[in-house]
A and B are shown apart, each in its own frame.
Chain A
Amino acid sequence: MRRKFWLLAAVASFVAVVSLQSASAMTRLEAATPGVTKGEIVLGGTFPLSGPVAGYAPIARGMEAYFKYINARKGKDGKRGVGGRSIVWKYYDDVYNPANAVQLANKLVLEDKVFAVVGTLGTENNQAIRPFLNQRKVPQLLVSTGASFWGLQYKQFPWTMGWQPDYISEGRAYGLWIAKNHPNAKIAVFFQNDDYGKDYVRGLKIGLGAKRSLIVSELSYEVTDTSYASQLARQKASGADTWVAITTAGTPTVRAFATAKALNWKPDTIVLNSVAATEAVMSAVVRSVGADFVNGTISTAYLKNPSSPKYANDATVKRYKTLLAQYGPDGADPNNAFFYYGFAKAYDMIKLLQASGKNPTRASLMAATTRMNWVNPYAIPGVKVKTSRSDRFPISQIKLIRFTSPSWTEFGSLIKGR
């Protein structure tokens, strides 16, 4: 056995050396533009379709429904799809794990040969795949995260671009509003201790400007904390009358409100960031602390709210509901804002493809991303989708909204984030 083993090892290493040399000689020719053929444009992305944050999965399915509609309808040029090419939408489950996102981005680019990666969800996941996609010169567009660096680092990563208003602009809007409407407020900031939360706090301070000193308490929580009682007790003791809560959708938001209520602390003004302020979360908060406690809470929005009475007769929202019923997954709930978000994003992707010329290339698509200038009907009236060579934030206008159980109402005028 022992002698056989060494013989085997010797043969194996010999073959290994030979194959190493022949392997290096292998080269492959790439097609002119991967993912674009006469009849198809292949797009891809990764999303958490299972696991703890699978609540975001409707984004991918909303995009799917919209692309199906585009493939079925006849456009202004009399052709279906985009100039006669139908959209093939490949999306995979990354379980919100960046390592999975990297493997799947490899699959999308190298095996599925996608034209561009669109809408991938999560700041970390997008960060993880960004170097690879930029090295391969594959567009990474309309990412589903509001970190500010998607719009800021375009010189370093020219193939990457964001979409939604970034967290700094949103924080700034709250700062501006407080400085103007409550110039003598005593502010307590409670935020999630990561890049996401810190971006918001940075924006808030920019908005407050000279009134920055109004902040009397600035405390954070870890995603893994199971109790916020000690932080919020200190915020209550600080005598703050304005509470800026920067949390993530789901448990942290509900817990923050429930803890404040349990401590008998009712700040006169509550500001809650938009990511946390989805309607599903708010109804859980109301169930937990009662409508009286939360009514009057301030947040921001940039898309129409498909479940708000204000838009019940809006042509776009009505069309969205029809299309989702026709092309969406069975039993899709049109009041789930993430389907709507997917529609809004897919709308801009189609516009981008239409703006990339008759035979789109990856370069022409990226060129189109620097001259976006249109109105997205899914956005709040007046919001423009606009970029330039030096402004890489497609949507940067937001509107303040106020909560009256069970839903949000817009107020005030549009705020330019940047």
Chain B
Amino acid sequence: MTAAVKGVLLAAAVALIILIPQRAGEFRLSQFTYVAIYFIALLGLNILVGYNGQISLGHGAFMGIGAYAAMIFILGREGLTATGANPPGWLLEHGMRPIFAIPLAGLVTGVIGYLFGLPALRLAGVSLALATFAVAVSLPLIAKHYDSVTGGGGGVSLPLPTTPFGWDISTPHWLYYEAWATAGILFLVAWLLVRGRVGRAWRSIRDGEVAAVSSGVSSAAYKTLAFGVSSAFAGVAGALFVIQVSYINPDTFPLTLSILLLVSAVLGGLGSLLGGIFGALLLVFLPIYSQDPPVLHFSFSKQAPSVVFGVFLILMVLVAPGGVAGLLRQVVQPIKIGLARRGSRPSRLAKEE
């Protein structure tokens, strides 16, 4: 895609994001807040999978780590004690505003992801997928085991979100703008990373690790960096998620979330940062509306939401193997070629006039 087409798409997306709150009701607004949250997670996943060629089946768990970190930052020792947990003394005494907990949660998750990236370095392909899968499997168990800080299986309720600093804006609107502003910033970060030296190194490792290493790219450093950045994104998404839901227990980040994230990253389009928006839209709207299709009133839908969901996924993969971003590319490509052709034959046009 040319820069101009990309620019138009980006502008259209930004315009839509700004227009939605004017029209949408409160519930629709909350759904688009979730779109922003999943978009952030998919940005991170795309860096890892799409640009660096590593596979993660554990990103739902990294979201979970971010969410737990944010919950602990928001509640503090004081708040956790009030929920009946028995937090250790080294935790911060008082909680902090959610808005400050978000970057901190991202940082914590990023560090954990980076550390996980160290042993994961020795793995590739299917083995790496299995190792990350193990993270997704074990997170709920770990959360249940360390119930003194996580609230265990019974979970922890957070105070319902409010608009901070006395700003004159409704809470659902605040959450929406908070999520999308974060998504915007992280999109910029991802874009800057991907287009520069780091991104080139990541892509070179993806396309041919041996060639990359022999050209002087440190495979270890860049792979772990990709893991760290990617997890930090997931952690921020998890923090926003827990603020929006205002409840957390091990079941809120199930194995299926990790798998669905990878599926949506593929459906949105690997190697396309903006494609994540489409993946996120699918992730938010498909599960709800496959239960109760708004246009087609299937009578069987109540019995088999997962069937509707699955059929849609298969159709998507058949129609658009490169994801939504790939589909757009296919549509834009002929137009671009057409434009180029017209531009290259001014003489004929002149004759016809």
A positions within 8 Å CB-CB of B: 1, 4-5, 8-9, 11-12, 15-16, 19-20, 22-24, 26, 28, 49-50, 92-93, 95-100, 102-104, 106-107, 109-111, 123-124, 127-128, 130-132, 135, 194-195, 222-224, 329
Contacts and interface: CB of A to CB of B under 8 A. Distances in A.
B160 A97 contact: no
Contacts of A12: 11, 14, 18, 184
Contacts of A106: 27, 30
Q: Which of B19, B188, B302 has the most CB of A within 10 A?
A: B302
A207 to B, nearest CB: 23
A107 B27 contact: yes
Contacts of A222: 144-145
B288 A104 contact: yes
B326 interface: no
Interface of B: 3-4, 7, 10-11, 14-15, 18-19, 21-22, 25-28, 30-31, 34, 140-141, 144-145, 152-155, 157, 159-160, 168-170, 173, 177, 181, 184, 188, 241, 245-249, 251-254, 256, 287-288, 291-292, 302-303, 305-306
Contacts of A23: 21-22, 169-170, 173
Nearest to B163: A24
Nearest to A108: B27
A131 B7 contact: no
Contacts of A8: 7, 10-11, 14
A223 B144 CA distance: 9
Contact of A194 (B28, B154, B291): B154
Given A19-B19, A128-B247, A131-B157, 16 more contacts: A4-B3, A8-B10, A12-B11, A16-B18, A23-B21, A26-B22, A93-B305, A95-B256, A98-B245, A98-B248, A99-B241, A99-B247, A102-B246, A127-B154, A223-B144, A224-B141
A92 B291 contact: yes
B11 A135 contact: no
Given A49-B305, A102-B246, A111 B15 contact: no
26 contacts: A4-B3, A8-B7, A9-B188, A11-B11, A12-B18, A15-B18, A16-B181, A20-B173, A23-B21, A24-B169, A26-B170, A28-B26, A92-B292, A93-B305, A95-B256, A98-B251, A99-B247, A99-B252, A102-B245, A102-B247, A103-B31, A107-B288, A110-B27, A128-B155, A130-B157, A195-B153
B154 A24 contact: no
Contacts of B173: 20, 23-24
B14 A20 contact: no
A102 B245 CA distance: 6
Contact of A127 (B170, B247, B288, B305): B247
Closest 8 CB pairs of A and B: A110-B27, A128-B247, A99-B252, A24-B169, A1-B3, A111-B27, A12-B14, A195-B154
A85 to B, nearest CB: 22
B155 A110 contact: no
Contacts of A103: 30-31, 34, 245, 288
Contacts of B246: 102, 131-132
A19 B22 contact: yes
B23 to A, nearest CB: 10
Contacts of B30: 103, 106, 110
A104 B288 CA distance: 8
Contacts of A24: 168-170, 173
A375 to B, nearest CB: 32
A171 B152 CA distance: 22
Contacts of A195: 153-154
A124 B249 contact: yes
Nearest to B176: A23
Contact of B251 (A97, A104, A110): A97
Contact of B252 (A97, A109, A223): A97
Contact of B169 (A20, A50, A128): A20
Nearest to B28: A111
Nearest to B292: A92
B251 A96 contact: yes
Contact of A4 (B7, B251, B291): B7
A127 B156 CA distance: 9
A9 B4 CA distance: 15
Contacts of B27: 106-107, 109-111
Contact of B177 (A20, A22, A92, A132): A20
B305 A50 contact: yes
B304 to A, nearest CB: 8
A48 B320 CA distance: 32
B249 A98 contact: yes
B336 to A, nearest CB: 16
B56 to A, nearest CB: 20
Contacts of A20: 169, 173, 177
A130 B245 CA distance: 12
Nearest to B309: A50
B253 to A, nearest CB: 8
B154 A98 contact: no
Contacts of B14: 8, 12, 15
A93 B307 CA distance: 13
A50 B155 contact: no
A124 B155 contact: yes
B15 A15 contact: yes
A102 B157 CA distance: 12
A18 B101 CA distance: 27
Given A131-B160, A223-B153, A224-B141, A97 B254 contact: yes
Contacts of B26: 28, 110
A50 B304 CA distance: 8
B174 to A, nearest CB: 9
A194 B3 contact: no
B185 to A, nearest CB: 11
A102 to B, nearest CB: 5
Contacts of B247: 98-99, 102, 127-128, 131
Contacts of A194: 152-154
Contacts of B287: 100
Contact of B245 (A28, A128, A223, A329): A128
A20 B22 CA distance: 9
A201 B175 CA distance: 42
Nearest to B140: A224
B245 A93 contact: no
Contacts of A131: 157, 159-160, 246-247
A148 B128 CA distance: 45
* Residue in A11, A23, A111 whose Cβ sees the most chain B Cβ within 10 Å: A23
Contact of B160 (A1, A28, A96, A135): A135
